[in-house]
DNA sequence: GTCTATAATGAGATAGAC
DNA sequence: GTCTATCTCATTATAGAC
């Protein structure tokens, strides 16, 4: 409702709020207009259709989550450093936006046709062209560390899946865990704080030979 | 479209298919009717409204996933056995219905108000009344094993979160992994087969003192 | 650029025949 | 129980004034 920032950005912010809460199909243009403090016609003036607006929100929002992990996994760090940084980065980011993972997974599930476009835009170039070399390099690093006896042999894909699972899933399933463990927001935040400490140790221990 | 089974069940099956594909908000009664091989009026005859139909589908579908984990975690097994059984049960179940986790997480995210009702119906009694003692018992078991020096100390909640994360997330994020790693259905199935072998070892190793 | 008013249609729900 | 036809309303989208 606050009238700071230019109109287009206000609409985009409002749309993000509503799409995250309701999903693309469940969101109403009227609700977005109210959230932005403008009328419905203006939404169409800037974004032409609900479809385009929801795509703009999704690609912008989801596109922010992926470059980080690629940057870290492809960087010049030891395996232990990569684990530390991924856990730290993701838990911090998602603690600030705990509804993001649920929204992104939900959209990916119901609109898989959007994924190529999303990955195509990450880092301004073909995502596969960025990711494939990163995965190959990571796999070599993991193999090398295994040969030295520092860690157990694990494939790069399994390594990445495990890492992301342990970081992202607690947020994606937050409503479920909150209900099952009878947690309020504070209790959930404490659960995550504990994970920030314990998760790197858990993963490193899992990799020990 | 096949006319086997009684009509109510055919509708329920069709509705599950469509709700999983489109989500509650994105699903159309017309599409469900076509999928079931009946007309739209019959849907209302049996379930009165879209809202009730979607609730019936969700509680029935989600309700099938939760009792298993509680049964295993609360059973008379060693920690290692519990890990083996959870991994085996969940990976097998979800391999047969790879879209289920995405659907359930999406619904939990957009309709958290349904969770109490869902948990209230699991196992025919209050879920909290079932789960709380299970978690306490599990925590004591983990503490006992830690005192004996068999494993590192870990809280029951963190243990359960880690276990479920590693099992469920790969399916929930399946569209993303498929695109990112350029996998077809077979390649994804192989990724899961590998996990069935490696995941129990990964988790047990993580718990080593 | 922003608004009000309204068109156009999509979709859930019901009436009533069979 | 199952169907066709129809009602009613919500929702996206556009026209046109300011």
A145 and A98 fall within a common domain: yes
Nucleotide nearest B46, from its CA to each C1': D1
Interchain contact B208–A (C-beta under 8 A): yes
Size of interface A-B (CB pairs under 8 A): 158
Cα angle B179, B185, B188 (rounded to 5 degrees) comes to 70
pLDDT recorded at residue B55: 97
- A102 vs B205: CA distance, rounded Å: 30
B76 and B171 fall within a common domain: yes
What 8-state DSSP symbol labels residue A76?
S
Confirm if B152 and B207 have CB atoms less than 8 A apart.
yes
Determine which of B59, B99, B180 to mutate to test the interface with A (most A C-beta atoms within 10 Å): B180
In a domain, A95, yes or no: yes
In a domain, B56, yes or no: no
| A146's tokens | 């295994």
Closest approach of B207 to chain A, Cα-based (Å)? 7
A192 and A104 fall within a common domain: yes
Quick one: which of B157, B115, B118, B151 has its CA closest to B135?
A: B157
| A44's tokens | 């169409």
In a domain, A1, yes or no: no
Q: Cβ contacts (< 8 Å) between B205 and chain A: which residues? A: 152, 205-208
Per the CB < 8 Å rule, is A205 touching B208? yes
Quick one: which of A25, A21, A97, A173 has its CA closest to B101?
A: A173
Interchain contact A67–B (C-beta under 8 A): no
CA of residue A147 to C1' of nucleotide C7, angstroms? 71
Q: What is the CATH number of the domain that holds B2?
A: 1.10.10.60
Domain boundary among A38, A60, A82: A60
- A66 vs A54: CA distance, rounded Å: 19
Determine which of A87, A138, A165 to mutate to test the interface with B (most B C-beta atoms within 10 Å): A165
Quick one: which of B61, B75, B69 has its CA closest to B127?
A: B69
Q: Cβ contacts (< 8 Å) between B171 and chain A: which residues? A: none
Per-position pLDDT tens, chain A of length 209: 445 679 999 999 999 999 999 999 999 999 999 999 999 999 999 999 999 999 999 999 999 999 999 999 999 999 999 999 999 999 999 999 999 999 999 999 999 999 988 887 655 566 777 899 999 999 999 999 999 999 999 999 999 999 999 999 999 999 999 999 999 999 999 999 999 999 999 999 999 99
B81 and B159 fall within a common domain: yes
B34 and B80 fall within a common domain: no
In a domain, A203, yes or no: yes
Which stretches of A76-126 are DSSP H helices?
A: 79-96, 100-110, 115-121
Total tally of structural domains belonging to chain B: 2
Instruction: Write out the H or E segment, with its range, that includes residue A43.
Output: helix A40-47
B188 and B87 fall within a common domain: yes
B107 and B197 fall within a common domain: yes
Minimum CA–CA partner of A133 in chain B: B181
In a domain, B82, yes or no: yes
Nucleotide nearest B50, from its CA to each C1': C12
- A143 vs B191: CA distance, rounded Å: 18
In a domain, B53, yes or no: no
Q: Which domain holds residue B40?
A: 1-48
pLDDT recorded at residue A1: 45
Instruction: Write out the H or E segment, with its range, that includes residue A18.
Output: helix A7-26
CA closest to C3 C1', residue:
A39
Per-position pLDDT tens, chain B of length 209: 445 679 999 999 999 999 999 999 999 999 999 999 999 999 999 999 999 999 999 999 999 999 999 999 999 999 999 999 999 999 999 999 999 999 999 999 999 999 988 887 655 566 777 899 999 999 999 999 999 999 999 999 999 999 999 999 999 999 999 999 999 999 999 999 999 999 999 999 999 99
Closest approach of B57 to chain A, Cα-based (Å)? 17
| A173's tokens | 């399933």
Residues 32-51 of B with CB under 7 A from strand C: 40-41, 44, 48-51
B87 and B32 fall within a common domain: no
A117, A120, A145, B178 from A132: Cα distances, Å? 17, 13, 20, 13
Residues 6+ apart with CB under 8 A from B71: none
Protein-covered nucleotides of chain C (CB closer than 7 Å) are 1-5, 11-16
B107 and B39 fall within a common domain: no
Interchain contact B64–A (C-beta under 8 A): no
- B131 vs B125: CA distance, rounded Å: 11
In a domain, A155, yes or no: yes
3-state class of A57 per DSSP?
A: helix
Instruction: Tell me the pLDDT tens digit for each residue of A165-176.
Output: 999 999 999 999
- A5 vs A106: CA distance, rounded Å: 29
B40 and B120 fall within a common domain: no
SS (H, E, C) chain B: CCCCCCHHHHHHHHHHHHHHHHHHHHCCHHHHHHHHCCCHHHHHHHHCCHHHHHHHHHHHHHHHHHHHHHHHHCCCCCHHHHHHHHHHHHHHHHHHCCCHHHHHHHHHHHCHHHHHHHHHHHHHCCHHHHHHHHHHHHHHHHHHHHHCCCCCCCCHHHHHHHHHHHHHHHHHCHHHHHHHCCCCHHHHHHHHHHHHHHHHHHHHHHHCC
A55 and A68 fall within a common domain: no
Closest approach of B7 to chain A, Cα-based (Å)? 27
Interchain contact B165–A (C-beta under 8 A): yes
Closest approach of B144 to chain A, Cα-based (Å)? 19
Residues 6+ apart with CB under 8 A from B55: B114, B117
pLDDT recorded at residue B135: 97
Which stretches of A48-184 are DSSP H helices?
A: 50-63, 66-73, 79-96, 100-110, 115-121, 127-147, 156-172, 174-180
The pTM assigned to this predicted structure is: 0.96
In a domain, A75, yes or no: yes
A108 and A184 fall within a common domain: yes
- A79 vs A138: CA distance, rounded Å: 9
Q: What is the CATH number of the domain that holds B152?
A: 1.10.357
Q: Is the CB of B10 under 7 A from strand C?
A: no
Q: Give A 70-129 residues with CB within 8 A of chain B.
A: 99, 102-103, 105-106, 108-110, 112, 115-116, 119, 127-128
Residue with tokens 């404490």: A190
């Amino acid at each position: 409702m606050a009238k700071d920032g230019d109109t287009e950005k206000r609409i985009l912010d409002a749309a993000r709020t509503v799409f995250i809460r309701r999903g693309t199909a469940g969101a109403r243009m009227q609700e977005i207009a109210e959230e932005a403090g403008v009328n419905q016609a203006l939404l169409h003036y800037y974004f032409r259709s609900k479809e385009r607006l929801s795509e703009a929100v999704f690609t912008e929002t989801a596109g922010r989550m992926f470059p980080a992990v690629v940057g870290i996994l492809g960087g010049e760090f030891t395996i232990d450093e990569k684990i530390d940084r991924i856990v730290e980065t993701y838990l911090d980011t998602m603690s600030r936006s705990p509804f993001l993972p649920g929204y992104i997974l939900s959209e990916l599930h119901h609109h898989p046709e959007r994924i190529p476009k999303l990955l195509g835009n990450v880092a301004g170039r073909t995502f596969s062209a960025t990711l494939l070399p990163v995965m190959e390099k990571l796999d070599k690093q993991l193999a090398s560390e295994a040969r030295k006896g520092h860690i157990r042999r694990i494939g790069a894909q399994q390594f990445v899946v495990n890492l992301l699972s342990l970081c992202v899933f607690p947020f994606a399933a937050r409503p479920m865990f909150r209900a099952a463990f009878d947690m309020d927001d504070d209790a959930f935040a404490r659960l995550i704080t504990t994970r920030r400490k314990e998760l790197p140790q858990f993963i490193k221990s899992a990799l020990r030979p």
